[in-house]
Structure 1
Amino acid sequence: MNEDPTRRRLGRGLAALIGEIDRPSSAAPGSEQVVREDRRVPIEFISPNPRNPRRNFAEEDLADLSNSIREHGIVQPVVVRPAAADGRYEIIAGERRWRAAQRAGLTEVPVIVRDVDDRVALELAIIENVQRSDLNPVEEAAGYQQLMEEHNYTQADLGQVIGKSRSHVANTLRLLKLPQSVRDMIIDGSLTAGHARTLVNAADPEKLARRIIEEGLSVRQAEALASEPDAQEGAPRVKREKDADTRSLEKLLSDHIGLKVQINHKEKGGELRVGYKTLEQLDELCRLLQR
């Protein structure tokens, strides 16, 4: 099969843009990507891209950036493309900066204008966000899926364009097979992408996801749990293996207070359990804690 000449041109065009997406530069003679000069544009003339793969903007991050912009202005211009003949623009990269600038009360923002089509605009948005780790894994997967559906990309094509391995693309796309409830856990950070991928073929991924979070299981333990035939039927909970440091700390605390101490690590934080057999032991523990 002959290589698609559009893809060959695309690779060279993106090579000139990746890493310089929000810095003005001059287009090389014969280049397909026309880069216009840096300028300032009224903020109301700029609109977000409805196809932007990034959907989540943390309120705390926006507030912090807004305060910084109010104090120092926008350091990196917003990358846009012409949206209409009336001087309006659509964001390619920098929507978070644009949102924060509105909160900061700016009336205009610095922009760099690039003449690119829908396909390249989407690619640049994905690349810019991936390089800055701004996309959560679900948003990244949705962006890949969009390129595949709308522009007939293969997983190998995507890997080449975004600078990731084909296996990374394939594993990321698998997350879209999970129910929305599990994807929400990935988006809010309570479940990692590595844990979530072990649940793709599970009969009840949401139930297993909650067990993984509650018990603070490792990815290997999650794989073992998901592979159990009776995992959905109230199988015994997976016993978390404790490292030598944790066991040593448990012994140190137990020897010090004279009671059995258990330390259980979870995905976020953990718990410390102290067991007692009599009320006298409980009273002694309370006295120790009060001291």
Structure 2
Amino acid sequence: MAKKLNLDLTAMATNLAAPAAPEVSGVGSRFLEVRTDDVVRDPKQPRKKFDPVKLQNLADLIKASQLNQPVTVKPKNADGKYVICLGERRWRANQLAGKETIPILISEHTDAYDQVTENTAREPLTPMEIADFIVERLGEGHTKSHIAKRLGMRPDAVSQYLALAKAPEFIQTLGNDTDIGARCLYDLVQAHKEFPSEVERFAAQDTEDVTRANLKRLIDGLKARKEADLERQKPPSGQPPQGSDDKPEGDADPLLNQPPKTGEGRESSAQPNTKPETQNTPALIEPMPETKAKGPQVQVMIAGRAATLAPVGKVSVIYEDTGECGEVDFSAITILGVEEEEHVST
């Protein structure tokens, strides 16, 4: 609301039969005190979970005094009921307090996005509640950029929440029942694609240990082990891969795997091969180009040392439209700008 109003709601409670109160704030908005059972919840309310302890604490406060902030509702529907826009927690606590009436603010200018922002300001929604809300808005035809603007987040954050909506069940459970942040949950989704069993075991531990830093250490270790295993499986230089059926037979040349020519015996096959063995030797390191790359250079700082990103090799990217991670050649990207990363949640 644009301005704070000092209202004597006690006076309203003593005169329930009075006609509707005059408009006091904005066009199409007015305060009333109505019977509690004339107010009903919005089935599309983004918040699905209500902490019973916090509700009881709020109910005790209402018992001790009264509900000082009205519940915002829509005008009466076809059933003669006021549907809550903002304040379902206050309405539930008012019921727990045994109050027969409740102060309301009738408004025609409140929508679903206001429900999210109001809830976030009071008691944040869970990551999965936000993810489900975004899915519903997309289903209604809203664009990601519009959703991001209304919720005050970046478009890539919207994509990350969408990834949570399709996450494995154990990750969605963490998003509903724990305090793990949305960005950590998103990292779990991405890591689970490559190391499913290891990530599931990691997520099963005490939730205080399920952090982005610990997850990064786990994934870095798993990737290093995977690369080491692949390196050990490579055949020695000049030897055919393991399991190959192309084994030399008899006096065949062990390098060319062909029978010796007529008149040549073991002595000729034992002579050293003076030709460079380039055909069967795997290239371990691709040399850096001697010429300088054209175009902008990205300068970075690594452990206190200034450096420039090499214009060759792979770089990891996050696609804004889906939130998916991928690896592409450095030469395939166009640098649009450089900015500090803004996390969805810590």
> Which residue of 171, 174, 177 corresponds with 2:163?
174
> Which residue of 33, 39, 44 corresponds with 1:40?
33
Distance 1:57 1:200 in 2: 26
Q: 1:56 to 1:86 in 2, by over 3 A?
A: closer
Distance 1:215 1:139 in 2: 21
1:199-278 maps to which residues of 2 (within 5 A)? 199-201=188-190, 202-203=192-193, 204=196, 205-211=199-205, 213=206, 216=209, 218-226=211-219, 228=222
How far apart are 1:131 and its partner, in Å?
A: 2.9
Q: 1:143 to 1:217 in 2, by over 3 A?
A: closer
Q: 1:88 to 1:217 in 2, by over 3 A?
A: closer
* 1:25 is the counterpart of 2:25: yes
* 1:134 is the counterpart of 2:128: no
* 1:96 is the counterpart of 2:86: no
Q: Structure 1 counterpart of 2:102, which letter?
A: V
Q: Structure 2 counterpart of 1:160, which letter?
A: K
Unaligned residue ranges in structure 1 (runs of 5+): 1-18, 28-34, 233-291
Number of aligned positions between the proteins: 202
Native 8 Å contact 1:78 1:110 kept in 2: yes
**Bigger proportion of residues as helix:** 1
Native 8 Å contact 2:171 2:188 kept in 1: no
1:104-183 maps to which residues of 2 (within 5 A)? 104-116=97-109, 121-150=111-140, 152-183=141-172
Structure-2 residue corresponding to 1:55: 48
Distance 1:130 1:209 in 2: 26
Q: 1:165 to 1:21 in 2, by over 3 A?
A: farther
Native 8 Å contact 1:22 1:77 kept in 2: no
Larger radius of gyration: 2
SS state at 1:172 partner: helix
How far apart are 1:145 and its partner, in Å?
A: 1.6
Q: Structure 1 counterpart of 2:134, which letter?
A: Y
How far apart are 1:229 and its partner, in Å?
A: 5.3
Distance 1:163 1:25 in 2: 25
Summarize deviations over 1:270-289 as a string: whole Å, max 9, x none.
Answer: xxxxxxxxxxxxxxxxxxxx
Question: Percent identity of the aligned residues?
Answer: 26
SS state at 2:116 partner: helix
How far apart are 1:84 and its partner, in Å?
A: 1.8
TM-score normalised per structure 2: 0.53
